Amino acid sequence: MSSAKPLLVDDDRSVPPLRTLVVDDYAPFRRFICSTLEKRLRLQIVGEASDGLEAVRKVEELQPDLIVLDIGLPKLNGFEVARRIRKLCPKSEILFVSQESSADVAQEGLSLGARGYVVKARAGSELLAAVEAVCQGRHFISSGLSGRREANEAQAPDHARHHEILPSLVSMNAEVSRSHEVEFYSDDAAFLVGFSRFIESALLTGKAVIVASTESHQKSLLEKLREHGINVGAAIEQGRYLPLDVAEILPTFMVNDLPDPVRFLSVVGDLIVAASRATGGKQSRVAICGESASILWAKGKADAAIQVEQLCNQLTERYGMEILCGFSLSDFFREEDKQIFRRICSESEPSSAR
Q: Which residues contact 330 (CB under 8 A, 6 or more apart)?
A: 28, 186, 187
Average pLDDT of span 15-21: 85
Residue 223 C-alpha from the chain's centroid: 22
Backbone angles phi, psi at 59, to 5 degrees: -65, -45
Q: Which amino acid is residue 21, in one-letter code?
A: L
In a domain, 200, yes or no: yes
Mean pLDDT of 324-328: 86
Residue bearing the bigger pLDDT, 28 or 246: 246
Question: What's the mean per-residue pLDDT of the chain?
Answer: 80
In whole angstroms, give the CA distance from residue 94 to residue 65: 9
Task: Compute the distance between CA of residue 14 and CA of residue 69 in angstroms, rounded to an integer.
Answer: 28
Per-residue pLDDT band for 346 (boundaries 50, 70, 90) equals: low
Co-location of 137 and 255 in the same domain: no
Note down the domain range covering 37: 18-164
Residue 354 lies in a domain: no
Sign of CA dihedral 124, 128, 133, 134: positive
- On whether both 116 and 195 belong to a single domain, the answer is no
Residue 141 shares a structural domain with residue 215: no
The total of structural domains in the chain comes to 2
Residue 336 has pLDDT above 60, yes or no: no
d(CA 100, CA 258): 36
**Is 281 within a domain?**
yes
Q: Is residue 6 part of a domain?
A: no
Q: What is the Cα–Cα distance from 127 to 63, expressed in whole angstroms?
A: 22
Q: In the structure, what pLDDT confidence band is assigned to residue 212 with cuts at 50, 70 and 90?
A: very high
List the CATH number of the domain containing 81. Answer: 3.40.50.2300
Cα 17 from Cα 10, distance rounded (Å): 12
What span, in angstroms and rounded, lies between the C-alpha atoms of 239 and 274? 8
Least confident range of 74-83, 202-211, 336-345: 336-345
CB 289 within 8 A of CB 198: yes
Cα separation, 152 vs 146, whole angstroms: 11
Cα three-residue angle 148-154-159, rounded to 5 degrees = 95
What integer pLDDT is reported at residue 7 of this predicted model?
53
With contact defined as beta carbons under 8 Å apart, do 285 and 175 qualify?
Answer: yes
- pLDDT value, residue 14: 59
Complete edge-to-edge strand list for the sheet that includes strand 322-328: 179-185, 322-328, 286-290, 208-213, 241-245
**pLDDT confidence band for 183 (50 / 70 / 90):** confident
What's the pLDDT at 96? 96
pLDDT digits (tens, 9 = 90+) for 54-106: 999 999 999 999 999 999 899 999 999 999 999 899 999 999 998 888 888 99
Higher confidence at residue 152 or residue 266?
266
Residue 178: per-residue pLDDT: 60
Percent of the chain at pLDDT > 70 equals 78
